[in-house]
Amino acid sequence: MKKYITLLLTILLPIPLFSQQENEMPVYSGDELVITATRIEMPQRSIGRSVSVISSSELENLKKISVSDILRNIPGLNVTQNGGTGQPTSLFMRGAKSGHTLVMIDGIEMNDPISPGRSFDFAHLLPDAIERIEIIKGPQSTLYGSDAIGGVINIISKKGIKKPSFLISGESGSYGTYKENIQTSAAYNNFNYNLSLSRLDTKGFSAAGEKYGNQEKDGYGSTSLSGKTEINLSKISSFNLMFHYINTKTDLDNTGGTFGDDPNYTTRGKQFYLKNQLSIDTFSKKWTQIYSFSFMNNKRDYLNEKDIDHPDDFIESNYNSRLYKFDFQNNVFANEMNTLAFGLEYEKEKGDSRYYSESTWGPYEAVFPSNEADILALYLHDNMNINNSFLPTLGIRFDRHNKYGSSATFHIAPVYFIGRSNTKLRASIATGFKAPSLYQLYSQYGDEALKPEKVKSFDIGFEQYLYKDIVSFSAEYFYNDFSNLIDFESNLFKYVNLGSASTNGIEIETAARPLKNLYLKLYYTHLNTDDKAAKEKLLRRAKNTAGITANYFFKELNFNLNFLFVGKRDDMDYSILPPQRITLKEYTKINLTASHNITKSAQIFGRIENLTNQDYEDVLGFGTPKRSFYFGFKLNY
């Protein structure tokens, strides 16, 4: 690890000597608009929350198959996967639980209401139709209510921006992987649209880990269809329609490690997301009213059939969830000093499940009948601007849950610019809550008396921009204190409020463009976690993570080199009794991507994943890809 940091510093230290050419592009644009952090489009530089943006150019340069692999390169995020492509994937933001991050696509909530922790599985999300990704770290409950206790990831899909066009792409590579995508988009005077259809297939490798003697390959297949359209109804009104559909089939294994293979265990899933939005500008665009309705449906079916080794064993389970949400938002541009966002939200979630098994002990069935919960919320945010140097944001929200009652949350996020030094100081104080999931409330392991999980948080940091924004540097300290955490108590055999935990750490990020055609980025995160009840570290959160990205282009060629370092982290070994805590070793993964624009309409590209063939594990016992090769093409008309 030390040699990689030394190499990067050797490159960065000479920057002041040769980075001041007039024609160089900045590495960071303070005027770039971000909407997720305040619910109103605002320049990123004026926001007091910790914001990371993955742009369309970064998505293009990385050319990753899955969104989860892209998010691994963001400071403060830990991504773990139980095997290869399509296997269950979790994300921990600043040490919070995976269910503490609210994931949205075009503002549509994607977290699964029927999953035990109401989390989102990143395994099935492809980047083809994505324009950009906005990540807001720290509690965002005043903006988005429950599930945003640790942060928010909002995925913004592409829209039509020019005359009718068609894009066809395909790639193939290691583990029998094939991926195809076709897109069409257009923009007219009062109408634009983008449609995307993707298919991904891979034969994969044993999710249970080949080094443990498992040889059965766990394949995966998915089809994704998405669309986004906007119609300008008049000079003051517009209508948007967005939808996303994902259909998957995944081969699973029983466990990781020795004897984990299971050739008959599969899951099928269907996810559907829809949003309608009507925007109306009044009073010379001083007051914008936004009416939106969204719907999501998530179905998961698991089947483990009998085989020669297990002639009496059979397992079948089904999970179905739905979420309906209405939001009435008002953006009022009161004056040069105040921009208000206030409104009303109502959401209703429903879910049911069924588990059935046969064994030598006989049949067993557990039915979780359809149950529901609803939340009504009022929110108010004031984005202030005092002399373009002091920009505080204040927010407050009241949520009323039909089962546990009311919650009030707030945040304060000031920004201060020091003179003309291009130095930005920022801080935030916030509270958040997470409602118990339907499974935690109503299943055979649930308890309707559960209280919501809560957090108190603060962070403080600065950002510095140099040489006409050709160099940027930021550093931040954060602290989160979680209480009323809901965990499964094995002695009582149900979910209870017994947990409390804290996380704190430092995030450092720097980016530079020392040459017109060379871009460099370095980040480092130091994370401390404390499970107060167990007096241990939280599992699967690395204490140290770091990354280096170098992107170089020359005429029609582009090269992207990416280093990812993940430090030691704790996990549990459940193969022995009693289960014991172990430490997973650190690893450094290197990826290389290259592309060549043959013509204005044709591109070929290649990618090498895990260039040094590093042996590592995200989760104890589960396999990870070895050195892998992928090749593809793009045709754009």
pLDDT tens track for 49-81: 999 999 999 999 999 999 999 999 999 999 999
Strand partners, 227: 195, 243
- 310 band by pLDDT with thresholds 50, 70 and 90: low
Query: pLDDT tens, 477-486?
Result: 999 999 999 9
Q: What percent of the chain has pLDDT over 70?
A: 94
Helix, strand, or coil here: 139?
Answer: coil
Asked if the model's pLDDT at residue 114 lies above 60, the reply is yes
Q: Which pLDDT belongs to residue 10?
A: 35
Beta pairing, strands 101-105 & 151-157: parallel
Query: pLDDT tens, 493-550?
Result: 899 998 899 999 999 999 999 998 999 999 999 999 999 988 999 999 999 999 999 9
Q: Which residues contact 505 (CB under 8 A, 6 or more apart)?
A: 76, 94, 95, 477, 478, 525, 526, 527, 528
Looking at residues 150-160, what average pLDDT do you find?
Answer: 96
Query: What is the C-alpha to C-alpha distance for residues 64 and 153, in angstroms, rounded to an integer?
Result: 18
Q: Which pLDDT belongs to residue 31?
A: 61
Asked if the model's pLDDT at residue 9 lies above 70, the reply is no
Query: What is the C-alpha to C-alpha distance for residues 561 and 564, in angstroms, rounded to an integer?
Result: 10
What is the DSSP track for 538-567? PTT--SEEEEEEEEEEETTEEEEEEEEEE-
Question: Among residues 615, 613, 616, 595, which one has the least CA distance to residue 605?
Answer: 595
Question: Among residues 319, 316, 205, which one has the least CA distance to residue 260?
Answer: 205
Query: What is the C-alpha to C-alpha distance for residues 32 and 207, in angstroms, rounded to an integer?
Result: 41
Q: Where are the beta strands (DSSP E) in 57-122?
A: 77-81, 89-93, 101-105, 108-109
Q: What are the CA-CA distances from residue 197 to residues 170, 177, 220, 295 (Å)?
A: 12, 17, 17, 21
Q: Which pLDDT belongs to residue 312?
A: 63
Strand partners, 565: 546, 588
Q: Which residues contact 362 (CB under 8 A, 6 or more apart)?
A: none
Domain enclosing residue 103, as ranges: 2-636
Query: What is the C-alpha to C-alpha distance for residues 208 and 265, in angstroms, rounded to an integer?
Result: 12
Asked if the model's pLDDT at residue 23 lies above 60, the reply is no
| DSSP H or E run through 511 | strand 494-515
Query: What is the C-alpha to C-alpha distance for residues 240 and 186, in angstroms, rounded to an integer?
Result: 15
Total residue count of the chain as it appears in this document: 637
Looking at residues 331-354, what average pLDDT do you find?
Answer: 94
Looking at residues 124-138, what average pLDDT do you find?
Answer: 96
Residue type, 299: K
Q: Which pLDDT belongs to residue 308?
A: 64
Question: Among residues 227, 630, 145, which one has the least CA distance to residue 433?
Answer: 145
Q: Which pLDDT belongs to residue 24?
A: 38
Query: What is the C-alpha to C-alpha distance for residues 74 and 525, in angstroms, rounded to an integer?
Result: 9
Q: Token digits for 508?
A: 């450092």
Query: What is the C-alpha to C-alpha distance for residues 126 and 199, in angstroms, rounded to an integer?
Result: 9
Query: 3-state SS string over 347-405?
Result: EEEEEEEEEEEEECCEEEEEEEEEEEEEEEEEEEEEEECECCCECCEEEEEEEEECCCE
Other C-beta atoms lying within 10 Å of the C-beta of residue 469: 18
Q: Which pLDDT belongs to residue 11?
A: 34
Q: Which pLDDT belongs to residue 510?
A: 96
Asked if the model's pLDDT at residue 200 lies above 90, the reply is yes
Rounded mean pLDDT of the chain? 91
Q: How many domains does the chain have?
A: 1
Q: Token digits for 536?
A: 């241990």
Q: Mark out the alpha helices in 130-253 (DSSP H runs).
A: 141-144
Query: pLDDT tens, 250-274?
Result: 999 989 999 999 999 999 999 999 9
Q: What are the CA-CA distances from residue 522 to residues 5, 68, 480, 549, 617 (Å)?
A: 9, 19, 25, 7, 23
Query: pLDDT tens, 367-425?
Result: 888 899 999 999 999 999 999 899 999 999 999 999 888 999 999 999 999 988 889 99
Q: Which pLDDT belongs to residue 4?
A: 37
Asked if the model's pLDDT at residue 582 lies above 80, the reply is yes
Here the CATH number for the domain that contains residue 253 is 2.40.170.20
Backbone φ and ψ for 57, nearest 5 degrees, come out as -70, -35
Strand partners, 544: 526
Q: Which residue in the block uniquely carries the two structure tokens 């050195």? A: 627
For 69-102, b/e burial (b = at least 16 CB within 10 A) is bbbbbbbbbbbbbbbbbbbbbbbbbbbbbbbbbb
Q: Which pLDDT belongs to residue 21?
A: 33
Q: What are the CA-CA distances from residue 34 to residues 37, 41, 135, 263, 606 (Å)?
A: 7, 5, 10, 46, 32
- 30 band by pLDDT with thresholds 50, 70 and 90: low
Query: 3-state SS string over 280-325?
Result: EEECCCCEEEEEEEEEEEEEEEEEECCCCCCCCCEEEEEEEEEEEE
Looking at residues 601-613, what average pLDDT do you find?
Answer: 97
Query: What is the C-alpha to C-alpha distance for residues 368 and 275, in angstroms, rounded to an integer?
Result: 28
Backbone φ and ψ for 100, nearest 5 degrees, come out as -90, 0
Looking at residues 212-238, what average pLDDT do you find?
Answer: 96
Q: Which pLDDT belongs to residue 2?
A: 44
Surface-to-core class of residue 491, CB atoms within 10 Å of its CB (0-12 exposed, 13-18 middle, 19+ buried): exposed
Q: Which pLDDT belongs to residue 603?
A: 97
Q: Which pLDDT belongs to residue 15?
A: 32
